C-alpha cells in the first residue's frame, strides 16, 4: 500500500521560497498571483495493513516539524 | 571540564568546536552519531555546525533522531549541559530540547560573514564572561537560520530571560532578532553564530573565547 504525506508550512509562518516563486511568476507576466506556498510531498511504500495512526506517528516524530509545519495524509 | 563533541555524517565544524573547548582547557572526546552512549562523566556536549545528513528532509531532523541524540536528550534531562552551534542549534530544536525552529533565511541566500551580536543575558554558564548588552563580533554561515517561535513562546522566552543573543542587524529574518536561546534550566544553549570561529587570534577575532572560558569556570567551580 502507498501513502502520501503533504507537508506545508503552517499558515502565518512566512514562506520565503513561496514568496520568491510568486515574484518570479509576476515577472514572467502572470498577473493576479496573490500568494504561493511551497511544500513537499513524501511518498511511502508501506506493508499492507499499516494504519493511518502509524503514518501519523511517522509525521509527528520525523516527517513534519509541527512547530512550523502542518501535514495531511492520503492513504491508498 | 569534560566535553564530548558529536560527529554526524556531514558535520564540518566538529574539530573547530573541539579545538575551542581544548584551548579553554577542556578534555574533549569525539563521539560518533551511531554511538549509543556518551563517555562517562561528560559535563558538556557540543553539537557542531555543518550539514548533518545533507540537510535532507529538514536541517537537523535526521540527526535529531540518531542513537547518540537519544543519549544527548537523556543527558540534558538529567541536567547536563549542551551547546549547539548552527546545525547544532537546528538539531537541538528538532530534539525538542530548545523551543522554536529554524527556517530558510528570509533573503533565501546562504550568508557567510561576521555579524554583531548583543549579549542579552549574562545569567548562563555560557555568557557569564560578558557584560549585559555587550556587542560581540561572531561569524555566521547558514542558509536556514531564520528563527521562528510562536508569540506565546516568545513572551515566555522574554519573561524567563532565555534569549542569549540577538543580532544587532538582523541578517536572516529571525523573530525578534534572535540569534541564540537557552533551555528552561539555562543549561542548553543553541545559537546560529559560530563562537568557535572567533576563538583564536588567527580567526580574525576572539570574541567567542569568553564563552568557552566561562564554561570552564562553571565546571571548575562546580
> With an 8 Å Cβ cutoff, are B173 and A65 in contact?
no
The length of chain A is: 76
Residue in B108, B105, B81 with CA at minimum distance from that of residue B92: B81
Give the residue on B whose Cα is nearest the Cα of A16.
Answer: B106
Do B214 and B125 meet the contact criterion of CB atoms below 8 Å apart?
yes
> With an 8 Å Cβ cutoff, are B173 and A14 in contact?
yes
| pTM greater than 0.90 (yes/no) | yes
Rounded-to-integer distance, Cα A29 and Cα B37, Å: 57
Residue B32 burial (CB count, 10 A)? 12
The domain over range A2-75 is classified in CATH as 2.60.120.10: no
In which residue ranges of chain B is pLDDT below 50?
none
Q: How much of chain B exceeds pLDDT 90, in percent?
A: 97
Contacts of A63 in chain B (CB under 8 A): 57
User: What are the domain boundaries of chain A?
Assistant: 2-75
Q: Annotate B136-172 with b (16+ C-beta within 10 A) or e (fewer).
A: bbbbbbbbbbbbbbbeebbeebeeeebbbbbbeebbb
pLDDT tens per residue across span B150-173: 999 999 999 999 999 999 999 999
Residue with cell 533573503: B107
ipTM exceeding cut-off 0.90 for this assembly: no
Q: Which residues contact A28 (CB under 8 A, 6 or more apart)?
A: none
Domain at B2-221: CATH architecture: 3-Layer(aba) Sandwich (3.40)
Is the CB of residue A66 less than 8 Å away from at least one CB of chain B? no
Q: Which three cell numbers stand for residue B94?
A: 528538532
Most A CBs within 10 Å, among B55, B56, B57, B153, to test the A interface: B57
Most B CBs within 10 Å, among A5, A37, A65, A70, to test the B interface: A65
Average pLDDT over residues A32-40: 95
Amino acid at each position: 500500500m502507498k501513502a502520501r504525506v503533504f507537508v506545508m508550512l503552517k499558515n502565518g509562518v512566512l514562506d520565503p521560497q513561496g514568496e520568491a516563486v510568486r515574484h518570479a511568476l509576476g515577472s514572467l507576466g502572470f498577473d493576479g498571483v496573490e500568494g504561493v506556498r511551497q511544500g513537499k510531498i513524501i511518498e511511502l511504500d508501506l506493508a499492507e495493513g499499516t494504519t493511518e495512526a502509524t503514518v501519523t506517528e511517522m509525521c509527528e516524530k520525523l516527517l513534519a516539524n509541527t512547530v512550523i509545519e502542518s501535514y495531511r495524509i492520503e492513504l491508498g | 571540564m569534560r566535553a564530548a563533541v558529536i560527529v554526524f555524517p556531514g558535520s564540518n565544524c566538529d574539530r573547530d568546536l573541539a579545538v575551542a573547548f581544548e584551548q579553554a582547557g577542556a578534555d574533549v572526546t569525539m563521539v560518533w552519531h551511531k554511538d549509543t552512549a556518551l563517555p562517562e562523566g561528560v559535563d558538556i556536549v557540543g553539537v557542531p555546525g555543518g550539514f548533518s545528513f545533507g540537510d535532507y528532509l529538514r536541517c537537523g531532523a535526521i540527526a535529531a533522531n540518531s542513537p547518540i541524540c537519544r543519549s544527548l536528550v537523556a543527558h540534558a534531562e538529567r541536567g547536563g549541559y549542551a551547546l549547539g552551534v548552527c546545525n547544532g542549534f537546528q538539531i537541538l530544536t528538532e530534539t525538542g530540547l530548545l523551543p522554536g525552529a529554524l527556517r530558510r533565511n528570509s533573503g533565501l541566500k546562504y550568508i557567510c560573514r561576521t555579524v554583531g551580536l548583543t549579549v542579552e543575558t549574562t545569567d548562563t554558564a555560557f555568557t557569564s564572561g560578558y557584560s549585559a548588552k555587550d556587542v560581540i563580533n561572531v561569524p555566521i554561515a547558514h542558509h536556514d537560520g531564520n528563527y521562528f517561535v510562536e508569540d506565546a513562546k516568545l513572551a515566555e522566552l522574554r519573561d524567563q530571560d532565555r534569549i542569549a543573543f540577538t543580532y544587532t542587524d538582523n541578517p536572516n529574518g529571525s523573530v525578534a532578532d534572535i540569534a541564540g536561546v537557552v533551555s528552561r534550566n539555562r543549561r542548553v544553549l543553541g545559537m546560529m553564530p559560530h563562537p568557535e570561529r572567533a576563538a583564536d587570534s588567527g580567526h580574525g577575532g576572539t570574541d567567542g573565547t569568553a564563552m568557552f572560558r566561562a564554561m570552564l569556570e562553571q565546571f571548575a567551580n562546580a
